[in-house]
Chains A and B, each alone.
Chain A
């Protein structure tokens, strides 16, 4: 039996007889050139199947490829009965119902259209096309995200002026709650989205709460916001005498700039000071301050405030280095005399440290106390026979009773103090000396004598001005003049001894030559200029603008905000202030 395979170019087309293939027996079907029935399609395997006539049946058996009937399932074997159709790859094998000229006829029709070159080219053209994303949509989306995240959210829920009433932050000023509350954390985050620059460490604690200082939108931070915490901040000068320097009419921010880094930026250049102080009389006609331009070039000699009345504590300013006027502290003391003593002949600063101890903070020294500094040498004994009896320092009213107590005890014990009188050498007829006093007379006499010698000379009077009781006063009514030794003499400047600890005391204080005059003991401007230059600095010398030594704000003249009824004045209260009002 011969089988004739006929090819049709497409379904329904007439077969081309020139392509007919005749099969007498079994025949390989595949893509291989050696196949009996060659099917030139990439979807046909090299050796796809075997055709085998068996009896009256035509059988297709798969080798490498697959066969399928009408259904989708592939099969390994298919029989073609007359009129049957089997799919082999992209071809349909249809057996004719009747044999023609004794040959069984199998029509092979491609069911998949051959590849279209122009379609492939178009697909490639599309594949190599560059398609931009939707630029307008991207722009719109990005703009919206930025506007919502950085404008709408901070305005709506950030720490604005009304955050306390409508914001996410918990009500009130409880910072511990604010720190743990997640909504408060969100508010803090939103506030940080607008914060400009780094907050200073001193204000950083409430830096996440913009409204703490920014009381009104689009308005500068009012001075009242600063003064709410910084109460008592002083004027620079008396606003009556120097109206131009009235800080109540100026904003703190003019000089103190926040958000400029960890250190609060403060305007303290020499030029700002010298603008007025180079000729202060033009702005404050009755000033006693002298003109200044620069510490290194043009600065007056330091003026010390000398005590004029130890009781009223009045002082008089006089230039360091001059002789007049004398300091009237009420104490008689010279460094020269003491430092010449064997006990104080110590090297370097050790002699100074015998009496002087730096006060906490290091700015000044602790007041020199009698017990710590003087009592070792100045024992305040009044009776050589009994050195253990000493006068109480600092309590003049007790001195009389202490001495009287001593002699009363002696009288009771039968002691005598006067040398025994000798009658042997008395002239005849002369009256006999009075007998040695005893009892109350002895106590009164010895007490009076001891007070005269001790208070007036050896004990109190050595350092203090003392005055005897006037006639008619009680005999023990001695008076010791009050003493006032200030811890600072150069009151217009700040100076820290601790900051200068590397410099020996004698470099600035000529104590070994000091005869007691304060003006000679204090260092003058030339001493400071050995290490300090003006603002511009100099080789081997420290650049020292005005603020190195001078303080701008005068604590004795607190700033009063111009209008306490100003709505911007009322605002958040400093935590410390809240504690004080509770």
Chain B
């Protein structure tokens, strides 16, 4: 998956292409075999989780889910058996194959009950996992390009300094203009929230209106302020994008991990309920 343009492609090899995509091929083989057997099977009544093949798929699915969840514990530990990158590659591909096995286990019957819940949670976990894998493959490149060699702290400092510069330049403008600039530079106590770029755009427009007006600020002042505001907007956009990238790389896990726990509970109830009313 690493692009040819990267100078050290071997160093940044993606976990998805680990061992030449061995686990991807293995998962594809398992999925294909599962679909083939499902197609060949002729159970009494419609295909479902209670036939011999259905129980087989259920057992395989259960084993896969427990093994995939164990990765969450394994990745927090140093050492242990197996290479973590190796495991991650298998985790992603076998997780995808799980969708096939579990869907065939349901026999395409879903209802509003604990069994349907377990399936939906599983799909949510796998969906968030696939998104996570995509994010880890795609976003670091976008993030590097967006930061252009700057650090997050340095970009914040630049934004703060541009804020003060804009504030000082706006002092020599009438109240209306200065107010617009002040609104886009949020007061410090409100800076926990991400600033709205539209306010800056609005301020730039208001300042630019001053250019042709009699008795207004000098064109040099106007240009200086417009320039400062535009630079501020560029830095702000960069920071907002950077924050979005970091959020995308983190937040999928806020779905993946809790829903995995919920899935394990629902799965245990699913198995219990099936055998309770056997």
Contacts and interface: CB of A to CB of B under 8 A. Distances in A.
Interface of A: 31-33, 40-42, 45-46, 64, 115, 117-130, 132-133, 135, 138-143, 145-147, 150-151, 154, 192-198, 210, 214, 217-221, 255, 257, 259-261, 265-267, 269
Given A126-B192, A194-B277, A196-B274, A42 B182 contact: yes
Nearest to B192: A127
Contact of B242 (A128, A132, A196): A128
B277 A210 contact: yes
B157 A121 contact: yes
B49 A130 contact: no
Q: Which 6 A-B pairs have the closest CB atoms?
A: A265-B45, A123-B191, A120-B160, A121-B160, A139-B258, A138-B258
Given A121-B159, A123-B188, A194 B113 contact: yes
Contacts of A45: 175
A46 B174 contact: yes
A145 B114 CA distance: 12
Nearest to B49: A196
B272 A142 contact: no
A125 B171 contact: no
Contact of A143 (B160, B191, B243, B262): B262
Interface stretch (B59-67, B94-102, B162-170): B162-170
B175 A197 contact: no
Contact of A220 (B164, B191, B250, B278): B278
Contacts of A126: 191-192
A217 B276 CA distance: 5
Contact of B254 (A40, A138, A196): A138
Contact of A31 (B172, B246, B278): B172
Contact of B44 (A32, A198, A221, A265): A265
A142 B261 contact: yes
Given A150-B266, A214-B277, A266-B44, A120 B163 contact: yes
A138 B171 CA distance: 48
29 contacts: A32-B174, A42-B171, A46-B175, A115-B164, A115-B167, A117-B164, A118-B160, A119-B188, A121-B153, A124-B239, A125-B156, A127-B193, A128-B152, A128-B156, A132-B254, A146-B266, A150-B269, A151-B272, A193-B113, A193-B114, A194-B273, A194-B277, A196-B277, A198-B109, A198-B111, A214-B278, A218-B275, A221-B278, A261-B45
A218 B276 contact: yes
Contacts of A32: 172, 174
A146 B167 CA distance: 53
B178 A42 contact: yes
B50 A196 contact: yes
Contacts of A151: 265, 269, 272
B117 interface: yes
Contacts of A123: 160, 188, 191-192
Given A125-B152, A132-B250, A217-B276, 17 more contacts: A42-B178, A46-B173, A115-B188, A117-B161, A121-B161, A126-B192, A130-B243, A130-B246, A138-B254, A139-B262, A146-B265, A195-B113, A196-B49, A196-B115, A196-B273, A260-B45, A266-B45
